[in-house]
Chains A and B, each alone.
Chain A
Amino acid sequence: MTQTQLPGQAAAPVTAPETAPPKAWKWYDYFTFNTDHKVIGIQYLVTSFIFYLIGGLMAVAMRAELYSADADLLDPNLYNAFLTNHGTIMIFLWIVPAAIGGFGNYLIPLMIGAKDMAFPNLNALAFWLNPPAGALLLGSFFFGGSQSGWTAYPPLSLITANAAQSMWILAIVLVGTSSILGSVNFVVTLLKMRVPGMQWTQLPLFCWSMLATSVLALLSTPVLAAGLILLLFDINFGTGFFRPEMGGDVVIYQHLFWFYSHPAVYLMILPIFGIMSEVIPVHARKPIFGYKAIAYSSLAICCVGLFVWVHHMFTSGTPPWMRMFFTVSTLIVAVPTGVKIFSWIATLWGGKLRLNSAMLFAIGLLSMFVIGGITGVTLGTAPFDIHVHDTYYVVGHFHYVLFGGSVFGIYAGIYHWFPKMTGRMLNETWGRIHFALTFIGTHLTFLPMHELGLQGMPRRVAMYDPQFEFVNQICTFGSILLGISVIPLFINVIWSWSQGPLAGRNPWRALTLEWQTTSPPSIENFEETPVLWTGPYEYGIDLLSADGNKSVQELLGEVSVEAQ
């Protein structure tokens, strides 16, 4: 070959081929202390998915136990260990790391046009605190497993399975530290590393929600850490903070715990709200309705969410003024949440909906979350809560929020961003089967639980009144369906990762910056500084020309040059 070059090829060295980026991580890089935010994001997602399966198996085991009224399948103490670790794993090692660690790390630098997070080393450190925490939790089963619920209320947590309880505390402190370090990183990255020219009002809504999430994590997590350290000292070093016989007060622990753990609920749902705000406009082909309302409502949830925690303690002998105050503050949270819900519905309204798997999960989430939200409002009301507190009604409620909400959101995010992360499309048919199974399974498992609670079945029981047996059997069948529902996703992800059709840069024709780069993005994210030529959600406005010469469609075409 001579050195003659066709004009069209001049750009070739700059625009890397889609299939083989010049520099790409090898498979083993994903098992090392890697500082690339994309590697860390995938490490979070894969690790948390493994824990999701472990926590899910515990759930199915518990449901199998509850198929009959007697404690015949599992030893009651093992049942309690399962319920404790199911809750802990699902919260601290599945939803939080997947939604915040996984999507947050992967997407934020890409969405704001940065090369990486502000502190890459800290980021990797934050991830690597998670596997030891998981190992501690699983290892605690050799010592009986912690059996006092994920709330670990003393004195029960002080007198049962001390070694396992201590390991549980250390695990939570590890993931809490990870969460704080991660949040520091997110806040600084979002404040300081946006691509020049990106105004706050041009920030994708996922970034807004991650900002609110991080602030909330920074303010609440340390208080839980303080409470758990006191608990650890009570168990192992003879102090009496929470030992009534030594002058301690067990209710103080509840305050410390819920000061974190109610915001933790928002930690698990705010990133999901962000995912919703990305997925819905892209697949509805419409600008998001009420950008500012959605952005500021995240911050409002973050602020109000810090002052509602006592609604978990309405039966703990809280004085009447507290019940009154925290009922009102809890109900206020419904306002910014409702703002979001209605904004998404308004975005869907009249859109050219693409009902693919990501969109199905997003719309499914809307319906589920409305149910979970409404039962949440009922629970926030002290007079009603006194009846259903610590019953299956609560279990039904928070599974609608955390499964119907957070897990559906994570699924929607996986279907939406899998092409970006791997460069390959997921199979749509399997995606829809996955959605149908999950949707039916969720309702079948968790809807009857409300009835159980109202009728008088307490939660966290291995044996119960035989009159509740039939409804419990429905729940058990639902949980088996939910267990099966993971299989299509699992097959789909593994197969598509290597065999799926190539996605190209921008399969969804989306406008946020992460779709401007290759799929998967190169190690430095963008070969060139990304061009911020439009706001993140300006879909379907092709009649408006950009500068009088080019339509938005043409500009979009320029940005998303396909390799082929």
Chain B
Amino acid sequence: MDGSPTINYPSTTASHHEEHPDLRVWGLLIFLVSESLMFGGLFMVYLIYRGSAQQWPPEGTEVELLLPTINTLILVSSSFVIHLGDAAIKKGQVAGLRLWYVVTALMGIIFLGGQVYEYLTLGYGLTTNIFANCFYLMTGFHGLHVFVGVLLILGVLWRSREPNHYSPTKHTGVEMAEIYWHFVDVIWVILFTLLYVLTHL
């Protein structure tokens, strides 16, 4: 190849006048890689502080385990629920899509509610100590992502009112909401491990 001219003739070039295929899923995946590094940075910060601390978490800022575990179960299972919605639209069942997406959104809202309840009952705040700093910032930042995910799901529901907006062959928006939701879920599993499980060992 190198050194000799490579000549392609018009016959090999198909027309590209038609619109290019929907690339939004690609875009979202690449964006999420980037986004995960943001969480990665926060995880590293947390691990460094944990590694250099005498006692972790410091006296008086322990976390409880029961409510967050329930919350985790809700969020993790919502990932399966949202997938049912995606499977439904692939079969052309808009009603199924709407049902499962409503359920997912509700589970997300319950998760956020549980989070807020936890904040209110923990007995210490953002500024108490370095563990509290990390705890509130990381869970809060994740909560923000859950909130955005709920908004995306609600957006899908809003658009699904229009008949034929989503079809078995055309439902990129549905898929994107689902991928984002899975991402939020995976991040939570890591957070839950770091902040709750590993502080109780």
Instruction: Give chain A's interface residues, CB within 8 Å of chain B.
Output: 113-115, 118-119, 122, 180-181, 183-185, 187-188, 191-193, 195-197, 199, 201-202, 218-223, 225-227, 229-230, 233, 237-241, 246-249, 252, 256, 259, 291-292, 529, 531-535, 538, 541, 544, 546-547, 552
Contact = CB atoms under 8 A, between A and B. Distances in A.
Contacts of A221: 34
A230 B48 CA distance: 14
Contacts of A114: 16, 20
B80 to A, nearest CB: 28
A239 B10 contact: no
B163 interface: no
Contacts of B126: 233, 237-239
A226 B41 contact: yes
A20 B26 CA distance: 37
A345 B131 CA distance: 55
A544 B4 CA distance: 8
B7 A249 contact: no
A188 B23 contact: yes
Interface of B: 1-2, 4-10, 12-17, 20-21, 23-24, 26-27, 30-31, 33-35, 37-42, 45, 48-49, 52-53, 126-127, 129-130, 133-134, 137, 141
> When A and B form their complex, which 9 residue pairs have the shortest distance between CB atoms, in order from nearest?
A226-B41, A222-B38, A238-B127, A223-B41, A239-B133, A218-B34, A247-B130, A222-B37, A532-B8
B34 A195 contact: no
5 contacts: A197-B13, A240-B129, A247-B129, A249-B49, A547-B7
Given A223-B38, A239-B126, A249 B17 contact: no
A119 B22 CA distance: 10
Nearest to A256: B41
Nearest to A227: B41
A252 B45 contact: yes
Nearest to A218: B34
A193 B23 CA distance: 10
Nearest to A122: B27
A544 B6 CA distance: 11
Contacts of A238: 126-127
Contacts of A241: 45, 130, 133-134
Interface centre among B8, B33, B41 (most CB of A within 10 A): B41
A246 B6 contact: no
A230 B137 contact: yes
Contact of B41 (A222, A246, A291, A534): A222
B187 to A, nearest CB: 13
A184 B27 contact: yes
A240 B130 contact: yes
Contacts of A230: 45, 137
A199 B13 CA distance: 12
Given A292-B2, A538-B5, A529 B26 contact: no
B34 A219 contact: yes
Given A247-B129, A533-B10, 13 more contacts: A119-B27, A183-B34, A187-B30, A195-B13, A196-B12, A196-B13, A201-B1, A202-B6, A233-B133, A239-B126, A241-B130, A529-B15, A531-B10
